[in-house]
């Protein structure tokens, strides 16, 4: 039977096999130096990567913003002055939105006959001194010869177009509208055009009539977003 002293003696003998402290010290110093070098290299690489990413993002933003600026500039020059800027960029213009009064915006409607019924164009001209928000689809309410507003529904899906659409002063924009069929009383030469909750009464150019009553054809109107005047 062994005793606890045997265990002590065995442990003491084993301790004599301990490696030399000098060797361990040197190994630790070497590993510590390696670790510091590795950390330094990692930090350098991380810094370099961050610089490259920031530079690339900056270039990308510059190219994109520059492209948008050129696009909106050409739109203002040849497309009637409807500026289509990214939402973040249009913050200042959006802040000026309340200043654009309904009276500043002149709206007009013209119809022409087509195989699919009536196709119209709603034109907007900004006579004010500030940009007007035109990120809407116009709503048209025809008025009968008797002066009654016809209950024609306009399909206006919710949402907004991609990017802000600001109509600059003295610029023009248009939206297409179609009216496939109508089985109610005929329309006259007047109509109401809605913009941002305001309705203005305008005189309609073109055929002052309604599309025919075709069984199964939709009687509601469909309008597009405002875009540069084509």
Q: Is 43 in the site for another protein (CB under 8 A)?
A: no
Q: Is 203 in the site for another protein (CB under 8 A)?
A: no
Q: Is 147 in the site for another protein (CB under 8 A)?
A: no
Stretch that binds another protein, among 17-25, 149-157, 176-184, 198-206 (CB under 8 A): 17-25
Alpha carbon distance 61, 87 (integer Å): 14
SS3 sequence of 161-176: CCCEEEECCCCEEEEE
For residues 21 and 88, which CB has a smaller minimum distance to another protein in the complex?
21
Alpha carbon distance 71, 84 (integer Å): 8
Q: Is 40 in the site for another protein (CB under 8 A)?
A: no
Q: How far is the CB of 40 from another protein (least distance, A)?
A: 16
Q: How far is the CB of 9 from another protein (least distance, A)?
A: 7
Q: How far is the CB of 7 from another protein (least distance, A)?
A: 5
Q: Is 6 in the site for another protein (CB under 8 A)?
A: yes
Q: Is 12 in the site for another protein (CB under 8 A)?
A: yes
CA neighbor of 74 nearest in space, from 109, 174, 66: 66
Alpha carbon distance 174, 135 (integer Å): 12
Stretch that binds another protein, among 16-24, 100-108, 115-123, 142-150 (CB under 8 A): 16-24
Q: Alpha helices of 16-136 — where are they, by DSSP H?
A: 21-78, 91-95
Helix (H/G/I), strand (E/B), else coil: 193: strand
Q: Residues with Cβ < 8 Å from 134, sequence gap 6 or more?
A: 82, 124, 165, 166, 167, 173, 195, 226
Q: Is 9 in the site for another protein (CB under 8 A)?
A: yes
Q: Is 13 in the site for another protein (CB under 8 A)?
A: yes
Instruction: Give the interface size with another protein as a residue count (CB under 8 A).
Output: 27
Question: From its phi and psi, is residue 80 left (phi > 0), alpha (psi between -120 and 50) or beta?
Answer: left
Binding region for another protein (CB under 8 A): 1-15, 17-19, 21, 23-25, 27-28, 31-32, 35
């Amino acid at each position: 039977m062994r005793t606890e002293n045997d265990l002590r003696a065995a442990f003491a003998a084993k301790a004599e096999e301990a490696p030399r402290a000098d060797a361990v010290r040197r190994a630790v110093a070497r590993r510590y130096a390696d670790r510091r070098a590795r950390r330094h290299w990692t930090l350098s690489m991380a810094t370099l990567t961050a610089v490259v990413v920031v530079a690339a993002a900056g270039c990308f933003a510059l190219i994109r913003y520059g492209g948008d600026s050129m696009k909106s500039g050409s739109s203002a020059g040849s497309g009637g002055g409807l500026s289509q800027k990214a939402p973040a960029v249009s913050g200042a213009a959006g802040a000026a939105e309340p200043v654009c009064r309904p009276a500043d915006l002149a709206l007009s409607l013209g119809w022409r006959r087509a195989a699919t019924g009536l196709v119209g164009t709603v034109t907007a001209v900004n006579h004010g001194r500030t940009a007007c928000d035109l990120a809407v689809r116009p709503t048209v309410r025809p008025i009968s010869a008797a002066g009654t507003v016809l209950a024609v529904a306009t399909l206006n899906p919710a949402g907004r177009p991609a990017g802000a659409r600001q109509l600059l002063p003295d610029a023009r924009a248009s939206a297409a509208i179609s009216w496939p069929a109508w089985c109610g009383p005929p329309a006259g030469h007047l109509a109401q055009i809605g913009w941002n909750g305001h309705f203005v009464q305008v005189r309609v150019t073109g055929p002052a009539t309604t599309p025919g009553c075709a069984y199964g054809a939709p009687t509601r109107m469909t309008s597009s977003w405002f875009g540069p005047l084509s």
